[in-house]
Amino acid sequence: MENSLFLGLSDVVASIRPPSSSTDNSPVEVTNLKALGSYNWLEDQAPTIAIPGRPPVWKEQPMPIHLKENLGKPFFDEGIARKCGYPLEPDLLAIEVSQGADPNFKLSEEMIDIVTNRNNLRKLIDFANSGTTNRGKHRADHFRIDAQLAPNGRTMVLTRYETQASCRQQNEQFIGFDHIFERMCTEELPTIHAANSDGRTTYLRPVGYHRIVRYDLLGMRFLVRSRVDAMLSGPSKPHAERSTEIDINDLSRALEQATLESGSATLPQLQATGVQYVNFGELVPQDLFMDIKLAHKGNVNWGNVYPQYFLSQTPNLKVATRTAVQRKNFVTQLDTYDQNSLKTEHEKQSQQFQSLVAVLKEMRRTLQTYGSSSQPLAFVWLQKGDMKAYRIQEKGEYLSDEGLEKF
């Protein structure tokens, strides 16, 4: 797989070392958090998303929970698996539609420094802390992350790089007990009945739910897309219980009435990407989102779990204890965490996020020096040593020129 990471690359232009431990005492906290957009991928022949979408609802079950292993294949990355030519374009489409009612919103005025998905940040944390012992038992993987510079000279757009071989491998392997537990403990979203351009009814099943948030961290402004596992079923505030139930009922009726019209489903500036959308879902309050993790015998690898939780700014985390009994697997305990209960873990791992920001700043300086809006760079790390920056000779399909100009 290492050789495939170098496809389409030419010469090395720079090397980046893992940063040394920082003496900066700046508080590692997220400020100015705002959700800018969200969507579900839909199972369809053409790349289609539902905006604003909705995550599946968590459903309580009595313990122990038997984890059934015959629940199908995993869905690794919806944008890649659906051969979406521009994997970041759905994010911009979701933002544009979600913010369409606000005449004062302009993405260019958000002053974004880093555009990325959460997975890229997690990989860069592995590199940034490769010279320390902070990662615990977490095993870092080699990676390649391609970077574009927006015409404003400020915004660095990071695109996850996956080879075709790795995509096939991911789709052929065992789904994993984490995903099995997630499927068993969340309610499947209803199928959307939509009318296509010739008036025939088509059935679209929502799958992964993604949320795009903007926040400030250690002097940089991030635009981060991450997958959300589930949402709590209750309202965000006790006195809103009745209205929330009405909203959910309205949502069910809206699903039955959803339409997908060729004239309005695809925004004109995104026709080259082939991504279309249907209006479906609701704007979910921040405090209802939830991540779900499974820990064998209750041993949580916080070095891996906490960065994922923090970087997505998901407020709730459920950790299930998996126990094997007579070759069968069960969930025997379920613990719920929030930001208050994870304060100690945050203090332990704050240095990792300082190192991450230091690496991102160095990557952007490298991109500003050796790249441009028309010359992306690839950052490659092989599990040890420095991270190398390469010029990309054979350009892939990242974020379109029109997309870059929005920043």
Tens digit of pLDDT for each residue in 32-84? Answer: 999 999 999 887 777 888 999 999 999 988 989 988 877 655 554 455 445 56
3-class DSSP string for the chain: CCHHHHCCEEEEEEEECCCCCCCCCCCCCEEEEEEEEEEEEEECCCCEEEEEECCCEECCCCCCEECCCCCCCCCCCHHHHCCCCCCCHHHHHHHHHHCCCCCCCCHHHHCCCEEEEHHHHHHHHHHHCCCCCCCCCCCCCCEEEEEEECCCCCCEEEEECCCHHHHHHHHHCCCCHHHHHHHHCEECCCCEEEECCCCCEEEEEEEEEEEEEEEEECCEEEEEEEECCEECCCCCCHHHHHHHHHHHHHHHHHHHHCCCCHHHHCCHHHHHHCCEEEEEECCCCHHHEEEEEEEECCCCCHHHHHHHHHHHCCCEEEEEEEEEECCEEEEEEEEEECCCCCHHHHHHHHHHHHHHHHHHHHHHHHHHHHCCCCCCEEEEECCCCCEEEEEECCCCCCCCHHHHHCC
CA 338 to chain centre: 19
What is the band of 175 on the pLDDT scale with cuts at 50, 70, 90? low
77: which strand partners?
none
Quick one: pLDDT at residue 282? 87
The amino acid sitting at 176 is G
What is the band of 146 on the pLDDT scale with cuts at 50, 70, 90? very high
Quick one: pLDDT at residue 165? 53
pLDDT-wise least confident of 62-66, 138-142, 298-302? 138-142
Quick one: pLDDT at residue 268? 32
Quick one: pLDDT at residue 292? 94
Quick one: pLDDT at residue 396? 73
What is the band of 19 on the pLDDT scale with cuts at 50, 70, 90? very high
For residues 150 and 382, is the Cβ–Cβ distance under 8 A?
A: no
Quick one: pLDDT at residue 25? 78
Residue 321 pLDDT > 50: yes
pLDDT-wise least confident of 40-44, 242-246, 322-326? 242-246
Domain coverage including residue 264: 3-405
Region 169-181 average pLDDT: 69
**Distance of alpha carbon 305 from alpha carbon 284, whole angstroms:** 23
Phi, psi of 71 (to 5 degrees): -110, 25
pLDDT-wise least confident of 42-51, 225-234, 322-331? 42-51
Which of 71, 157, 178 lies closest to 113, judged by CA?
A: 157
Quick one: pLDDT at residue 369? 97
Cα→Cα distances 209→212, 223, 309, 326, Å:
10, 17, 16, 35
Region 303-320 average pLDDT: 95
Percentage of residues in the chain having pLDDT higher than 90: 54
Quick one: pLDDT at residue 76? 43
Q: How many domains does the chain have?
A: 1
Residue 348 pLDDT > 50: yes
Region 263-284 average pLDDT: 62
Percentage of residues in the chain having pLDDT higher than 70: 80
pLDDT digits (tens, 9 = 90+) for 73-115: 555 445 544 556 678 889 999 999 999 989 999 999 999 999 9
What is the band of 21 on the pLDDT scale with cuts at 50, 70, 90? confident
Quick one: pLDDT at residue 173? 58
Residue 166 pLDDT > 90: no
Region 274-291 average pLDDT: 89
293: which strand partners?
319
The amino acid sitting at 394 is E
List all residues 6 or more positions away from 59 whose beta carbon is below 8 Å from its beta carbon: 185, 186, 187, 233
Quick one: pLDDT at residue 69? 76
For residues 315 and 339, is the Cβ–Cβ distance under 8 A?
A: yes
What is the band of 290 on the pLDDT scale with cuts at 50, 70, 90? very high
Residue showing tokens 């891996």: 304
Beta strands at 201-217 and 30-43: parallel, antiparallel or unpaired: antiparallel
**Distance of alpha carbon 100 from alpha carbon 351, whole angstroms:** 38
Greater pLDDT, 211 or 101: 211
Quick one: pLDDT at residue 226? 95
Quick one: pLDDT at residue 46? 76
